[in-house]
């Protein structure tokens, strides 16, 4: 036994200590507990891995039988294979860095202990998710990280937008979770187990013509779950709003770890997806569409965190594309490199915001290069990495995905290349707007303390060498064999050129001829406005789903029911559910004789039911 | 009558829990008269002891399962499970009530005696093997709870709650009785097993049997607050004192489900083609009404009332599946439901304070900052009510929907899952106000958490978590005891 | 010859009268009486079936029902009196503090 359970338990203990006693602790104690617990689990991961190396086979630890009902047995099991190992290192490693950073970033915030308690709880659930040896335990982590994400997004709960964003994240994710739970039930029906190894073993033996239909359904439902968690079309709307949370949260949860859980889950279920070609195609299309759409929105945003948020959505789209074209390990590679450079981008952005006294609008920044040079340096590296400039980390993983996409269908590659160009453009746009030119704000920018920039420096190193140093697909080849996608120099060069072209274009627009963006925006005002307003998707959802249902039911009820119903509706307001609820609660009119009538009606209905089905005998 | 008319010692042993409770209940009433104006909390402890003794007797009786009193009583795993459950509910209720009653200056032995008597009825329902016993059990349980619902005589909400509960309850029970009478007429027996035998011959007129079964279902559906007989529940739970709402939403409901499962799985097994579709519709309607009507509630007691209707709907799903897995799911779900619901009402009891002034969801604003202990308790309980993994509520739902799918009730399972997604919204609001709002007037001068109440909160919360992590604790026993009438 | 069916018809009539009474009467005391009427419908049935099956079970059952009905009526009147003291009415339609 290697006591894998200790890995998630450390942060849980941290959560319990800080959550229960944190109010009485000094900040030093809280920091020690919070950071220490995550670092401990990082160290324990290293220890377990060195003991388990080379980890060619899955290593399972069975703790106890969690549930046994009929033929179904679900164990409280943790398993570790190379895929898990990669994720564990990313989660605990990046997690430790971000915890350290947060001690500096949150130093002056209220609810300090609460913040770190939630953050530790998040780590516990995220590690449970990654270590789980079956779908149910994975679901435990899945729900848990969602809950923590929601608590942390709404951390500044005095801001209405923050608590609204928290609720939005929770509600949108419920849709995904619903798909996931349905998928689990279908897996039980089809395979009689939820254990990863058993499910995949059975899936690989059953004959194609019998079971492919149900596997496709299962995969599509799993995909619904993944779409919610990893913010893909059409459920991506919560992620940009989630930036209302503190910046370390955006970096840890909404860039590096939780949002990649969907990708991890798909890669984990690769055996199933490979037997469901239709589902694979859907994954690829959704990923590609999300990548393009989010990148176009990112082109014109002015809030620095919003730019990176849409960039995250777009990069997650890349990862989905990778999985969808069969290059699961390339997708995971991108998860890893993205964790480096996107965490860096967010933390750097946090440092910028910190320096500008809370300002997030890039139009009120500028010229920060000299004032916060370290932040500038690391952000510049991160931007190079995401733009795919060789030999930085992003270059390798993005190339791997694009090669695989080309093998699947050349047009996917070309769309991906264009998106890569846009990515380079918007990320350098943010760099140029923030650090070059003249300072346009009113605050007095200052460099962040060492606790904040040291983690940045570490991440910067990882972003620099992470792609070259860690050849994830090769490492993962025993778990996730790489299909297709022969490395083609000319294709790779084109992709790199697209990135460089994006950078160049951004430099022209925002450094040399600053009049171009304004001219373009006014020349293509409708397009610009559409992009700026994010394709009006939020409005579209409001107009097409929320309002018609509310209006429709109001109309019907206005005509069909008494004014009391209408009043209740207006007061309760909102959605169909509310309207339906308003209608249903009217059953409970408070009047005794009405109740008696309901009982009588019920009696007649029940007797009628028995009679109808009795007659059908 | 022959000499064997006198019951044997083993039979008394099987009936010991009810006997103990009746004696202790009577004793408490006598003590009440003797203690005069002194503090009555000690009577609460006497009642707790009585319940504990009855629970020990119930567990002991399970070592020697079998029939008693001319097969009127049956002691099997199923009966024992529900006996222990309702006895536990009784104990938790007393823990929740003591402090509340002292504050309302209504602490009296009568209250505890009524709880004990009501539990006697429920315990009898759990082990009744015959329609007369079922009827007597329901009535003992109900009459005591009618009084409990209106226990604070000077409170108008209590008055109204008791009146509605009483009138609707006796109305529905009258129909149940009418159905029982017909079944007796059709089969010539009131014993569940004999009824099953007669009905399986198929000689009795199907339509008449169906109508009688329907009438019995009406009475039981009323007790479990299944649609369309749920109308009374929100008013009654809202109007009664919070500890009583906790009691009524747990004990009588669990016992009525025990009766429902036993009667329909045993006696009406052969006409399952008639009742299964009706149960299907009822369970769906119950879930929908409970969950959707809860969305608009501002009063937390009323919201919990609707939520308890919804939970009854989930249990109905398991009943509909008509299988051993379903029975086990019913048992597990009810156990975890009783824990989390009583726990939630315990928190409401604490928050409401004397005269129940603070019973709006918004009154919980900012509780996280003022009372982290209670907030943590309520958070766990609410997450369990939502059905988040690692809580008992999750496994309850998991088992219920698994039972439904095993019985090929695919649509019911899907619609049920959708419903449980809706439920997240109204539970969520409680979390939102606790964590994301600034404290208001309601959280000024929060009372200390009394010792007994604290025990109840901890027991329910830890129990909920324990069921989430080690469902095997009771699932194993439930599965062993789940083959009824087979 | 009076057969079992006649008794059942009487019982059904009593049930119907009782039910209609519960639905239509405003005075809670009368509603209470109507419920008692339904219970008596049950008793008629039980006695008739008891005779029909030539068993004593039904009659025993009927005695139980009578006893329970008395207890129920006592509690019901008690509840009603408590309400009357606070609210000064026994009209069913005036009891609607709790709703929706």
According to the model, what pLDDT value does residue C4 have? 87
According to the model, what pLDDT value does residue A553 have? 42
pLDDT tens digit sequence for B370-402: 888 888 899 999 999 988 888 899 889 988 998
pLDDT tens digit sequence for B267-287: 998 888 889 999 999 999 999
- Rounded to a whole number of angstroms, the distance from the CA of B7 to the nearest CA of chain A is 39
Q: Which of C21, C35, C87, C99 to mutate to test the interface with A (most CBs of A within 10 A)?
A: C99
Let me know the angle formed at the C-alpha of A29 by A27 and A32, rounded to the nearest 5 degrees: 110
Cβ of B277 within 8 Å of Cβ of A613? The answer is yes
C 32-51 near B (Cβ less than 8 A): 32, 35, 38-39, 41-42, 45-46, 48-49
Mean pLDDT lowest for which of A250-259, A472-481, B234-243, C80-89?
A472-481
Provide the H-helix boundaries in chain C.
4-24, 28-53, 57-87
pLDDT tens digit sequence for A344-383: 999 888 888 888 877 888 888 878 888 888 888 889 999 9
- Name the DSSP letter for residue A542: I
Three-class DSSP labels, A53-102: CCCCCCEEEEEEEEEEECCEEEEEEEEECHHHHHHHHHHHHHHHHHHHHH
Residues C27 and C71 sit within 8 Å (Cβ to Cβ): no
Is residue A221 over pLDDT 70? yes
For residue B483, give the H/E element and its range.
none
According to the model, what pLDDT value does residue B21 have? 94
Cβ of C99 within 8 Å of Cβ of A588? The answer is yes
Q: What does each C-alpha distance from A493 to A426, B124, C85 come to in angstroms?
A: 21, 81, 91
Class of domain C27-91: mainly alpha
| Separation between Cα atoms, residue A368 and residue A355, nearest integer Å | 9
Instruction: State chain C's mean pLDDT as an integer.
Output: 90
Per-residue confidence at B486, pLDDT binned at 50, 70, 90? very low
| Those residues with Cβ within 8 angstroms of residue B272's Cβ, 6 or more apart along the chain or in another chain | B264, B322
Cβ of A600 within 8 Å of Cβ of C98? The answer is no
Is residue A549 over pLDDT 70? no
Q: Chain C residue with minimal CA distance to B166?
A: C76
Residues B73 and B127 sit within 8 Å (Cβ to Cβ): yes
Instruction: State chain B's mean pLDDT as an integer.
Output: 89
Quick one: average pLDDT of B174-183?
A: 93
Say yes or no: C14 contacts chain B, CB-CB below 8 A: no
b/e string for B284-297 if b means 16 or more Cβ within 10 A? Answer: bbbbbbbbbbbbbb
Asked if residue B131 has a cis previous peptide bond (ω within 30° of 0), the answer is: no
Of A158, A181, A614, the CB nearest to B274: A614
Cβ of A593 within 8 Å of Cβ of C96? The answer is no
Provide the H-helix boundaries in B228-271.
232-239, 242-266
Cβ of C26 within 8 Å of Cβ of A600? The answer is no
Cβ of C97 within 8 Å of Cβ of B157? The answer is yes
Three-class DSSP labels, A543-590: HHHHHHHHHHHHHHHHHHCCHHHHHHHHHHCCCHHHHHHHHHHCCCCC
CB contacts < 8 Å between A and C, how many? 36
Cβ of C99 within 8 Å of Cβ of A568? The answer is no
Say yes or no: C95 contacts chain A, CB-CB below 8 A: yes
Is residue B140 over pLDDT 90? yes
Per-residue confidence at B203, pLDDT binned at 50, 70, 90? confident
| Those residues with Cβ within 8 angstroms of residue B7's Cβ, 6 or more apart along the chain or in another chain | B68, B69
The string of DSSP codes covering A357-409 is TT--BGGG---TTTTSHHHHHHHHHHHHHHHT-TTSHHHHHHHHHHHHHHHH-
Strand partners, A134: A195
Say yes or no: A56 contacts chain B, CB-CB below 8 A: no
Is residue A210 over pLDDT 70? no
Quick one: average pLDDT of A55-75?
A: 80
Per-residue confidence at A551, pLDDT binned at 50, 70, 90? low
Show which subunits contact B, needing at least 3 CB pairs below 8 angstroms: A, C
Domains of chain C, by residue range, sit at: 27-91
According to the model, what pLDDT value does residue A565 have? 38
| Separation between Cα atoms, residue B290 and residue B311, nearest integer Å | 8
Cβ of C93 within 8 Å of Cβ of A590? The answer is no
Chain A positions in Cβ-Cβ contact with residue C26 (cut-off 8 Å): 593
**How many Cα atoms sit within 13 Å of B53 on the Cβ side?**
18
| Separation between Cα atoms, residue B115 and residue B94, nearest integer Å | 8
b/e string for B309-333 if b means 16 or more Cβ within 10 A? Answer: bbbbbbbbbbbbbbbbbbbbbbbbb
pLDDT tens digit sequence for A373-390: 888 888 999 999 998 888
According to the model, what pLDDT value does residue A420 have? 92
Per-residue confidence at A546, pLDDT binned at 50, 70, 90? low
Asked if residue A234 has a cis previous peptide bond (ω within 30° of 0), the answer is: yes
Q: Which of B117, B178, B211, B232 to mutate to test the interface with C (most CBs of C within 10 A)?
A: B178
Candidates A479, A575, A470; CA nearest to A93 is A470
Higher pLDDT, A224 or A158: A224
| Separation between Cα atoms, residue B209 and residue B192, nearest integer Å | 14
Using DSSP's 3-state secondary structure scheme, residue B68 falls into strand
Cβ of A591 within 8 Å of Cβ of C96? The answer is yes
Domains of chain B, by residue range, sit at: 10-480
Q: What does each C-alpha distance from B154 to A590, B109, B158, B219, C92 come to in angstroms?
A: 20, 18, 8, 30, 19
Chain C positions in Cβ-Cβ contact with residue B166 (cut-off 8 Å): 72, 75-76, 79
Residues B143 and B75 sit within 8 Å (Cβ to Cβ): no
- Rounded to a whole number of angstroms, the distance from the CA of C24 to the nearest CA of chain B is 14
Q: How much of chain B, in percent, has pLDDT values that exceed 70?
A: 99
- Rounded to a whole number of angstroms, the distance from the CA of C82 to the nearest CA of chain B is 6
- Rounded to a whole number of angstroms, the distance from the CA of A303 to the nearest CA of chain B is 25
| Separation between Cα atoms, residue A219 and residue A328, nearest integer Å | 15
pLDDT tens digit sequence for B460-485: 999 999 998 888 888 888 888 887 75
Per-residue confidence at A577, pLDDT binned at 50, 70, 90? low
Residue carrying structure tokens 């050349």: A410
According to the model, what pLDDT value does residue A5 have? 87
Neighbours of B42 (CB within 10 A): 12
CB contacts < 8 Å between B and C, how many? 119
Would strands B66-68 and A72-80 be described as parallel, antiparallel, or unpaired? unpaired
Of B210, B228, B230, the CB nearest to A610: B210
For residue A111, give the H/E element and its range.
none
Candidates A237, A268, A209, A231; CA nearest to A80 is A268
| Those residues with Cβ within 8 angstroms of residue C51's Cβ, 6 or more apart along the chain or in another chain | C58
| Those residues with Cβ within 8 angstroms of residue B269's Cβ, 6 or more apart along the chain or in another chain | B196, B199, B200, B485
| Separation between Cα atoms, residue A435 and residue A510, nearest integer Å | 11
According to the model, what pLDDT value does residue A576 have? 63
Measured in degrees and rounded to the nearest 5, phi and psi for residue B225 equal 60, 50
Higher pLDDT, B138 or B426: B138
Cβ of C72 within 8 Å of Cβ of B157? The answer is no
Cα torsion B429, B430, B432, B437: sign: positive
Is residue B408 over pLDDT 90? no
Cβ of B294 within 8 Å of Cβ of A581? The answer is yes
ipTM of the complex: 0.95
- Name the DSSP letter for residue B191: B
pLDDT tens digit sequence for A256-282: 888 899 999 999 998 888 888 888 889
pLDDT tens digit sequence for C63-94: 999 999 999 999 999 999 998 898 888 888 88
For residue B75, give the H/E element and its range.
strand B73-75
**How many Cα atoms sit within 13 Å of B326 on the Cβ side?**
26
| Separation between Cα atoms, residue A89 and residue A46, nearest integer Å | 8
Measured in degrees and rounded to the nearest 5, phi and psi for residue C37 equal -60, -40
> Is B370 exposed, middle or buried (CB count within 10 Å of its CB: 0-12, 13-18, 19+)?
middle
Mean pLDDT lowest for which of A250-264, A454-468, A564-578?
A564-578
Residues A511 and A432 sit within 8 Å (Cβ to Cβ): yes
Chain A positions in Cβ-Cβ contact with residue B470 (cut-off 8 Å): 64, 66
According to the model, what pLDDT value does residue B87 have? 95
Per-residue confidence at A560, pLDDT binned at 50, 70, 90? very low
Quick one: average pLDDT of A465-476?
A: 83
Measured in degrees and rounded to the nearest 5, phi and psi for residue B142 equal -70, -45
The string of DSSP codes covering B76-95 is SHHHHHHHHHHHHHHHHHHH
């Amino acid at each position: 036994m290697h006591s894998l359970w200790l890995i998630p338990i450390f942060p849980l203990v941290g959560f319990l200590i800080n959550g229960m006693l944190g109010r009485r602790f000094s900040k030093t104690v809280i920091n020690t507990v919070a950071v220490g617990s995550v670092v401990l689990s990082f160290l324990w991961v290293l220890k377990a891995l060195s003991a388990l190396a080379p980890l060619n086979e899955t290593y399972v630890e069975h703790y106890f039988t969690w549930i046994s009902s009929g033929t179904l047995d679900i164990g409280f099991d943790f398993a570790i294979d190379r895929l898990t190992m990669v994720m564990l290192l990313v989660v605990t490693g990046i997690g430790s860095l971000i915890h350290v950073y947060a001690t500096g970033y949150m130093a002056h915030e209220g609810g300090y202990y609460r913040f770190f308690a939630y953050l530790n709880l998040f780590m516990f659930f995220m590690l449970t998710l990654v270590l789980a040896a079956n779908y149910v335990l994975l679901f435990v982590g899945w729900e848990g990280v969602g809950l923590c994400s929601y608590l942390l997004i709404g951390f500044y709960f005095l801001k209405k937008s923050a608590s609204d964003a928290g609720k939005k994240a929770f509600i949108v994710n419920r849709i995904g979770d619903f798909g996931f739970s349905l998928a689990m039930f279908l897996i039980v029906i089809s395979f009689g187990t939820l254990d990863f190894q058993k499910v995949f073993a059975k899936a690989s033996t059953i004959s194609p013509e019998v079971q492919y239909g149900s596997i496709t359904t299962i995969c599509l439902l799993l995909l619904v779950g993944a779409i919610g968690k990893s913010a893909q079309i059409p459920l991506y709307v919560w992620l940009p709003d989630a930036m209302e949370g503190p910046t370390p949260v955006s970096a840890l949860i909404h860039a590096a770890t939780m949002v990649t859980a969907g990708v991890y889950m798909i890669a984990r279920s690769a055996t199933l997806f490979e037997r469901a070609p239709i589902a694979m195609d859907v994954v690829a299309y959704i990923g590609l569409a999300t990548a393009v759409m989010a990148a176009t929105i990112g082109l014109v945003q002015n809030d620095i965190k919003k730019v990176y948020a849409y960039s995250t959505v777009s990069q997650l789209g890349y990862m989905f594309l990778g999985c969808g074209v069969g290059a699961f390990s390339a997708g995971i590679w991108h998860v890893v490199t993205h964790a480096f450079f996107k965490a860096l981008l967010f933390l750097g952005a946090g440092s910028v915001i910190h320096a500008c006294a809370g300002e997030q609008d890039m139009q009120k920044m500028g010229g920060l290069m000299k004032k916060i040079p370290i932040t500038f340096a690391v952000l510049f590296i991160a931007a190079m990495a995401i733009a795919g400039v060789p030999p930085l980390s992003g270059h390798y993983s993005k190339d791997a995905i694009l090669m695989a996409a080309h093998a699947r269908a050349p047009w996917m590659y070309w769309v991906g290349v264009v998106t890569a160009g846009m990515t380079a453009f918007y990320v350098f746009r943010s760099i140029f707007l923030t650090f070059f030119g003249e300072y346009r704000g009113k605050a007095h920018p200052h460099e962040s303390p060492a606790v904040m920039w040291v983690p940045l420096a570490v991440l910067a190193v990882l972003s620099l060498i992470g792609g070259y140093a860690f050849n994830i697909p090769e490492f993962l080849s025993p778990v996730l064999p790489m299909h297709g996608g022969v490395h083609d120099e000319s294709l790779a060069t084109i992709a790199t050129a697209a990135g460089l072209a994006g950078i160049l274009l951004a430099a022209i627009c925002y450094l040399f001829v600053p009049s171009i963006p304004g001219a373009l925006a006014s020349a293509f005002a409708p397009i610009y406005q559409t992009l700026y307003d994010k394709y009006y998707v939020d409005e579209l959802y409001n107009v097409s789903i929320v309002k018609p249902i509310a209006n429709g039911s109001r109309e019907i009820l206005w005509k069909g029911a008494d004014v009391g119903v209408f009043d209740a509706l207006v007061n309760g307001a909102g959605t169909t559910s509310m309207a339906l609820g308003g209608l249903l609660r009217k059953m409970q009119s408070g009047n005794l004789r009405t109740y008696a009538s309901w009982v009588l009606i019920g009696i007649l209905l029940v007797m009628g039911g028995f009679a109808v089905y009795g007659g059908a005998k | 009558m022959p000499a064997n008319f006198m019951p044997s010692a083993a039979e008394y042993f099987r009936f010991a829990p009810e006997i103990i409770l009746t004696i202790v209940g009577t004793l408490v009433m006598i003590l009440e008269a003797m203690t005069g104006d002194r503090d009555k909390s000690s009577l609460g402890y006497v009642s707790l002891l009585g319940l504990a003794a009855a629970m020990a007797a119930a567990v002991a009786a399970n070592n020697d399962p079998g029939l008693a009193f001319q097969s009127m009583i049956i002691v099997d795993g199923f009966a024992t499970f529900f006996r222990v459950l309702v006895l536990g509910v009784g104990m938790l209720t007393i823990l929740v009530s003591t402090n509340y009653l002292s504050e309302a200056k209504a602490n009296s032995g009568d209250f505890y005696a009524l709880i004990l008597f009501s539990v006697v009825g429920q315990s009898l329902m759990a082990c009744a093997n015959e329609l007369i016993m079922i009827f007597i059990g329901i009535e003992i349980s109900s009459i005591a709870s009618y009084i409990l619902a209106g226990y604070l005589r000077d409170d108008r909400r209590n008055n109204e709650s008791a009146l509605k509960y009483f009138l609707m309850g006796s109305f529905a029970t009258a129909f149940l009785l009418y159905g029982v009478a017909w079944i007796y007429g059709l089969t010539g027996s009131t014993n569940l097993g004999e009824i099953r035998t007669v009905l399986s011959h198929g000689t009795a007129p199907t339509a008449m049997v169906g109508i009688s079964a329907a009438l019995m279902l009406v009475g039981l559906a009323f007790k479990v607050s299944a649609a369309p007989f749920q109308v009374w529940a929100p008013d009654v739970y809202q109007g009664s004192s919070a500890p009583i709402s906790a009691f009524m939403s747990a004990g009588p409901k669990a016992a009525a489900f025990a009766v429902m499962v036993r009667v329909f799985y045993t006696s009406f097994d052969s006409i399952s083609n008639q009742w299964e579709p009706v149960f299907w519709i009822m369970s769906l309607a119950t879930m929908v009404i409970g969950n959707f009507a809860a969305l608009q509630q501002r009063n937390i007691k009323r919201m919990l009332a609707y939520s308890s209707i919804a939970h009854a709907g989930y249990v109905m799903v398991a009943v509909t599946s008509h299988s051993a897995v379903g029975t086990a799911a019913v048992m597990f779900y009810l156990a975890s439901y009783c824990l989390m619901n009583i726990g939630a009402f315990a928190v409401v009891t604490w928050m409401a304070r004397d005269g129940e002034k603070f019973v709006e969801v918004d009154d919980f604003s900012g509780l996280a900052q003022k009372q982290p202990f209670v907030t943590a308790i309520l958070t766990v309980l609410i997450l369990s009510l939502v059905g988040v993994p690692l809580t008992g509520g999750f496994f309850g739902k998991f088992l219920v929907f698994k039972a439904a799918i095993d019985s090929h009730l695919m649509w019911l399972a899907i619609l049920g899952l959708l419903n449980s997604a809706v439920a997240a919204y109204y539970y969520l609001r409680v979390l939102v106000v606790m964590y994301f709002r600034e404290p208001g007037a309601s959280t000024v001068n929060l009372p200390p958490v009394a010792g007994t109440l604290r025990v109840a909160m901890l027991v329910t919360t830890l129990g909920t978590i324990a069921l989430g992590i080690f469902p095997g604790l009771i699932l194993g026993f439930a599965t062993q005891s789940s083959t009824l009438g087979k | 010859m009076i057969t079992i069916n006649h008794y059942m018809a009487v019982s059904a009539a009593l049930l119907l009268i009782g039910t209609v009474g519960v639905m239509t009467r405003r005075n809670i005391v009368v509603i209470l009486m109507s419920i008692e009427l339904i219970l008596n419908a049950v008793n008629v049935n039980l006695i008739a079936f008891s005779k029909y099956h030539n068993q004593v079970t039904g009659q025993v059952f009927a005695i139980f029902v009578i006893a329970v009905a008395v207890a129920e009526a006592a509690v019901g009147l008690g509840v009603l009196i408590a309400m009357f003291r606070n609210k000064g009415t026994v009209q069913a339609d005036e009891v609607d503090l709790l709703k929706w």
